[in-house]
Amino acid sequence: VDLPLTLPEFEERAAGAIERGAFDYFAGGAGDEITLRDSVAAWQRLALRPRVLVDASRRSLEVTVLGRRRPHPLIVAPMAHQRLATPDGERATARAAVATQTPMCLATLASTGIDELAAAEPGLTRWFQVYVLRDRGATTALVEAAAAHGYEALVVTADVPVLGVRERDRRSRFETEEAQELPALRLLGREGRMIVGETASLFDPTVTWRDVERLASESPLPVLVKGILLAEDARRAVDHGAAGVVVSTHGGRQLDTVLASADALPPIVDEVGDEVDVLVDGGVRRGTDVLKGLALGARAVMVGRPVIWGLATGGAAGAQRVLELLLGELDNALALTGALHADGLDRSFVQHAPWANH
């Protein structure tokens, strides 16, 4: 297959490959999309500080995440409705994840069931993203199903008490008209389909730290709180039993004009980085972005939209190529910065870039 060589080309091809409304759902952000754009730009505002002549013949991408040794620091971020990108949806993503030894986080609003994904790809290292639903019984059932089907962590999304203002979705008829597969709804005793615009009604706006505490104490799985942007919230997450946090703006899809994750990350690492795992996502488009995240203290880096562009362009093979491109670039960056080991990075490898002041 003739697959693109760079992530921007994947995005361009994806735009031509899927319906406009679906593309806008995947690509879009909240409000004026300032945080969406800055999520990419923030990594580019960091300059690298390479060390030379250090024998770059041996590199290692290995890191430790939630106490487990992993071959590299990438994780597929939870993203809803993946069948809008490719007919197999999350199953295609899972094949790409297995092929590249990348953990994948399945979304509550996935178009593939918790059990179905586990059965289709038993070799997948899988995590489950939890939305605390109005129906707490259904929330508990989802979390129990995840544990029963070999998911290794719960990622509790904290930045969606209500949905962000997403104007691209309002504009496209997509949001209002087409019902999407949502197998998780069967646990609420409903048909497993719903239009995207209605899914927001499932979320419980009363969600608080108590829910995190309950999930952390009731589930045998480690809980990561996703959508943390402040050091004091990271501290609260730890106080309420979290095993880690994901510094994230939800890909710029929730509150517009919040700091990009790359800028929010350092104070959070300073606050809790010695106690729990800090992960980061948002705007990671190059291996050098991954390296910068690690240098700022993240243990692992989640990748969102690029995986969707891979799926839309070439199904599982496309998503696999996207992950391979990022891993190849990371390996190259480890050689050229002289860092050599993904778990040996620190802030001395990055500095504020002078070009960012212009």
Ligand X SMILES: Cc1cc2nc3c(=O)[nH]c(=O)nc-3n(C[C@H](O)[C@H](O)[C@H](O)COP(=O)(O)O)c2cc1C
Tokens found for residue 102: 């990348």
Which among 41-49, 56-64, 77-85, 182-190 is the span making contact with ligand X, rule CB under 6 A? 77-85
Main-chain dihedrals φ then ψ at residue 113, nearest 5 degrees: -75, 155
**Locate tokens 């953990």: which residue?**
103
Which among 75-83, 145-153, 262-270, 327-335 is the span making contact with ligand X, rule CB under 6 A? 75-83
Q: Does 129 bind ligand X (CB under 6 A)?
A: yes
Q: Does 107 bind ligand X (CB under 6 A)?
A: yes
Compare residues 26 and 174 and give the one whose CB is closer to ligand X.
26
Q: Does 109 bind ligand X (CB under 6 A)?
A: yes
Q: Which of 4, 73, 103, 251 binds ligand X (CB under 6 A)?
A: 251
Q: How far apart are CA 46 and CA 283, in angstroms?
A: 13
Q: How far is the CB of 160 from ligand X (least distance, A)?
A: 7
Q: Does 283 bind ligand X (CB under 6 A)?
A: yes
Q: How far apart are CA 266 and CA 173, in angstroms?
A: 40
Residue closest to ligand X when measured from CB atoms? 304
Q: How far apart are CA 7 and CA 205, in angstroms?
A: 36
Tokens found for residue 282: 């948002």
Compare residues 56 and 165 and give the one whose CB is closer to ligand X.
165
Q: How far is the CB of 131 from ligand X (least distance, A)?
A: 7
Compare residues 4 and 282 and give the one whose CB is closer to ligand X.
282
Q: Which of 10, 23, 26, 43 binds ligand X (CB under 6 A)?
A: 26
Which among 4-12, 95-103, 112-120, 278-286 is the span making contact with ligand X, rule CB under 6 A? 278-286
CB atoms within 10 A of CB 136: 12
DSSP assignment of 167-207 equals HHHHHSTHHHH-EEE-GGGGGGTS-SEEEHHHHGGGB-TT-
**Per-residue interface string for the shown chain with ligand X, residues 304-323, x marking contact by CB under 6 A:** xx------------------
Q: Does 85 bind ligand X (CB under 6 A)?
A: no
Query: Has 358 been annotated as catalytic?
Result: no
Q: Is 25 helix (H, G, I), strand (E, B) or coil?
A: helix
Q: Does 157 bind ligand X (CB under 6 A)?
A: yes
Exactly one of 72, 149, 240, 250 is catalytic; name it: 250
Q: Which of 4, 78, 222, 297 binds ligand X (CB under 6 A)?
A: 78
Q: Does 303 bind ligand X (CB under 6 A)?
A: yes
Q: How far is the CB of 84 from ligand X (least distance, A)?
A: 8
Alpha helices in the chain (DSSP H): 7-17, 20-27, 34-44, 90-99, 114-120, 136-148, 167-171, 174-177, 196-199, 209-218, 231-239, 261-272, 287-295, 305-337
Which among 61-69, 89-97, 179-187, 281-289 is the span making contact with ligand X, rule CB under 6 A? 281-289
Q: How far apart are CA 55 and CA 60, in angstroms?
A: 13
Q: Does 260 bind ligand X (CB under 6 A)?
A: no
How far are the Cα atoms of 140, 230, 287 from residue 211, in angstroms, in the given order?
A: 11, 19, 35
Count H helices and E strands in the chain, helices first: 14, 14
Residue 77: half-sphere exposure toward Cβ, Cα within 13 Å: 25
Q: Does 113 bind ligand X (CB under 6 A)?
A: no
Q: Which residues are catalytic?
A: 250
Interacting residues toward ligand X by CB under 6 A: 25-26, 39, 77-80, 107, 109, 129, 157, 226, 248, 250-251, 253, 281-284, 303-305
